[in-house]
Amino acid sequence: FLYDVDDLTKVAEDNLAARRKEADAAERIVAIEVEEFATWRRTLDLAPTIVAIRERVASIVHAELSRTTPRLRDLSDDDRRALERMGDAIVAKILHHPIRELKQAASEPDATSLIATTRRLFSVDAPAEAAESATPKADARTPSRTES
């Protein structure tokens, strides 16, 4: 077989077109995977937020029950437990829709902003903030025990 320059140019152009087509396909795959990763990353903040909201609202309900039930002198233990279950059911019903909406919105690009707003509305810390506030910080002005 004899090939001239025109034949080689045609083969090179065909190869280049095939590589461009495959590169475009690879770019589409990368774009899809990047978006899926971004969606997954946004949902990482969601679970701790939901837990914190549930705990916050449940603690309010339980505090109110603890404050109120002593005034109800004739309340049996069964009645107390029934009131606690009712409080838990109210918490679940009140939070059902907001939590469902948060979960649905988690895949949207502005989910991080929505989660932050929800934390602010329910007065709950972000997961990193909660861990930091739970850990006592050393005060630079106070000497440690080893220094005294």
pLDDT at 138: 43
pLDDT at 112: 83
Per-residue pLDDT tens listing for the chain (148 residues) = 677 888 889 999 999 999 999 999 999 999 999 988 988 887 787 889 999 999 999 999 999 999 999 998 888 999 999 999 999 999 999 999 999 998 888 878 788 888 889 999 999 986 655 445 444 444 444 444 444 3
pLDDT at 60: 95
Overall residue count recorded for the chain in this entry? 148
Residue 109's closest CA among 48, 49, 42?
42
Token digits of residue 55: 């705990």
pLDDT at 139: 43
pLDDT at 1: 67
pLDDT at 4: 84
**16: alpha, beta or left? (left if phi > 0; alpha if psi -120 to 50):** alpha
Q: Phi/psi at 109 (nearest 5 deg)?
A: -60, -30
- pTM for this predicted structure: 0.60
pLDDT at 127: 63
**Is 91 in contact with 61 (CB distance < 8 Å)?**
yes
DSSP state letters, 18-45: HHHHHHHHHHHHHHHHHHHHHHHHHHHT
pLDDT at 142: 41
Token digits of residue 123: 């007065």
Residue 18 CA to residue 79 CA, distance in Å, equals 75
101 in helix, strand or coil?
Answer: helix
Residue 138 CA to residue 54 CA, distance in Å, equals 31
